[in-house]
Structure 1
Amino acid sequence: MPPTGRTGHGRSAQRERREQILDAALDLVVAQGFPGCTMQSIARSLGVTRPALYEYYRDHEQLLADLVAREHQKTVELVVRCTTAAAADNEDPEGLFVAFLREYLDSVAAAPRTWRFMLTSPLGAPLQVRDDIDALRRLVLEQVRFAVRSLPEPYGGAEVDAEMAALSIIAGAESAARLVLEDPERFPPERVATVISTLARQVARAWPR
C-alpha cells in the first residue's frame, strides 16, 4: 500500500487534471457551442491523446455533465443567496432588486467564461446533459418565483403571477448579462444596473396600490 501522503498527492493531482479538462471543455463550448466540444477537440486543445481523457472520464457525456454541474452551481448559489435574502427581508423590494442586479452583473463581469457558458444554447449537447441543464434552470426559476411570492403587495403575494414575474426577471437579467459580456467597455455593470434600476423604480411608482 502506498504511503498516505503519496495517495493524497495523487488524488489532488487527479482533481487538478480534471479541472484542466473541464476548463478546456468550457472554452470550446463558449467558442463553438456544444457541437464543437468533442473528446477529440478537448484532447487537441490540451495536447494529449483522446485515450488519455478516458483515464479521467468514462465518456463524453460524463465530462459534459460534470462541466454543466460545475458552472451551473455558481448560478444556483448566487440566485439562492439573493432570493433567500429577499424572503428574509422584503421591506424594501426596490432596494433588493437593485442589490441583486448589481451582484449578478458584477459576477458576470468577474467570470465572463462561466456566464457565456450559461447563455450558450444546449443544442448539440447529449440528451442527459440537456435534461440536466433544464433541471437546473427550473431550480433557478423556482427560487426566483419563491422570492416574488415572498414580496409584499403590490410586488408579490397571491395577486401576482409569480411565474410570469420570475420569467421576466430571468429574461431581463440574461439580456443585461449579454450587454456586459458583448461590450464590457460600453456596457459596464454599473451603467447597466443604474439604467435598469431607474426603470424599475419608475414602474414601481406607477404600479397601482
Structure 2
Amino acid sequence: MTEQAKAARRDGRPRRKLVMSEILEQAMELFAERGYDGTTLQDVADAVGLSRPNLYNYVRSKEELLVAMVEATSQEAAATLRAVRERTDLDPAEKLRTLVRILVLQRAAHPARFRTLDRSEQSLPAEIAERHLDARRAVLAEITAVLDDGVTAGLFRPVDTRVTALSVIGMCNWVAWWFHPSPAHPAEPVADQIAENALAMVARPEGRTPDAPTPLGAAALLQQDLDYLVRLLRGEADAT
C-alpha cells in the first residue's frame, strides 16, 4: 500500500476513493503480471494490505474490478473530454491542446490500468467490453468533433478528421508503455510536447499560402478543400 493510502487510513480522512484507487492500481499490476484468470481477490487483498473481508467493503468480485477500471479509465476520460469540447471560452486549437494533455497525463498517471485494459480487451465480459467500446467511441467522437470545428473555422487544414483523431489518440495511448515519470522527469512537459505535436499535424499555415507561390501550389490547396468537401457530402449522404 502506498504511504498516501496508509496515511489516509491512519488519520481518518475520507479515504474510500483513495483506497479504491490503490486497489485498482494493485489489481492492474497483478493482472498484467499473472493474467486476469491467474489473479485471485486474495492476491489483490494481500497486495493492498487488506484482509479479504475488508476488501469486500470496496469490491466483491474481479468483474467489479474490471467495471471500476473501465469507469475510471475510459468512461471518465470520455466525460472529461466532452466537458472540454463544450467549453465556449476556447477555440478549437486550445481545445485540441487541452484534450491531448488530459489523455497523456491520464496515461502517465495510471499506466498499469491502461495497459491491462488494452491487453484484456478481447477477454472482457460482454457487458464490460461494451462499456469500454462505447467509451472509446466517445473519446474518438470528441476529438473528431474538435478537429471538424477547427477545419470549419479555418484553423486546421482540411484533413480526414477521423483518421487524424485516431492518430492523436495513438500518440496519447503509447505514453502508457514508454513513459516512466519521476521527480526529475515529470509528465507535464511530455504532455505539452505531445499536444504541440498534435497541433502541428493539423495547423493551417499562416495566410494559407502554398509552400511555393506557383499555380500548382495554389491548386494543391484548392484540392485539399475539395477533398474535404467530398468527405462532408459523403458523410451527409450516409447519414440519410
Tell me the TM-score range normalised by the shorter chain: 0.5 to 0.7
Q: Which residue identity does 1:136 align to in structure 2? A: A
Displacement of 1:122 after TM fit? 4.2
Q: Deviations over 1:63-91 (max 9, x none)?
A: 32123213434422431233223xx4675
Counterpart in the other structure of 1:67: 69
For 1:198 and 1:148, the matched residues in 2 are separated by 14
Q: Which has the larger radius of gyration?
A: 2
Pick which of 138-147 and 121-130 moved more.
121-130
Q: Deviations over 1:34-83 (max 9, x none)?
A: 52653121122244454554455443212321232134344224312332
Q: Which residue identity does 2:78 align to in structure 1? A: V
8 Å CA contact 1:148–1:155 kept in 2: the answer is no
TM norm structure 1: 0.64
Equivalent residue in structure 2 for 1:118, among 94, 111, 114: 114
Alignment coverage as a number of residue pairs: 188
2:85 counterpart of 1:83: yes
Q: Which residue identity does 1:139 align to in structure 2? A: A
Displacement of 1:176 after TM fit? 4.6
Q: What are the residue-to-residue correspondences of 1:10-29 with 2, within 5 Å? A: 16=15, 20-29=19-28
8 Å CA contact 1:30–1:116 kept in 2: the answer is yes
Counterpart in the other structure of 2:138: 139
Given the superposition, is the C-alpha separation of residues 189 and 177 from structure 1 closer, same or farther in structure 2, using an over 3 Å criterion? farther
8 Å CA contact 1:145–1:163 kept in 2: the answer is yes
2:176 counterpart of 1:163: no
Equivalent residue in structure 2 for 1:42, among 37, 41, 44: 44
For 2:167 and 2:124, the matched residues in 1 are separated by 26
Displacement of 1:139 after TM fit? 1.5
For 1:166 and 1:138, the matched residues in 2 are separated by 11
Q: Which residue identity does 1:182 align to in structure 2? A: H
TM norm structure 2: 0.58
8 Å CA contact 2:97–2:198 kept in 1: the answer is no
8 Å CA contact 1:78–1:104 kept in 2: the answer is no
8 Å CA contact 1:90–1:150 kept in 2: the answer is no
Displacement of 1:200 after TM fit? 3.8
Displacement of 1:195 after TM fit? 6.5
For 1:127 and 1:79, the matched residues in 2 are separated by 25
Report percent identity of matched pairs: 19
- The residue matched to 1:182 in structure 2 has which SS? coil
Equivalent residue in structure 2 for 1:182, among 172, 180, 183: 180
- The residue matched to 1:208 in structure 2 has which SS? helix
Given the superposition, is the C-alpha separation of residues 57 and 155 from structure 1 closer, same or farther in structure 2, using an over 3 Å criterion? same
RMSD: 3.9
Given the superposition, is the C-alpha separation of residues 148 and 208 from structure 1 closer, same or farther in structure 2, using an over 3 Å criterion? same
Pick which of 55-64 and 195-204 moved more.
195-204
Displacement of 1:170 after TM fit? 1.0
Pick which of 62-71 and 187-196 moved more.
187-196
For 1:150 and 1:130, the matched residues in 2 are separated by 30
8 Å CA contact 2:84–2:99 kept in 1: the answer is yes
Given the superposition, is the C-alpha separation of residues 37 and 189 from structure 1 closer, same or farther in structure 2, using an over 3 Å criterion? farther
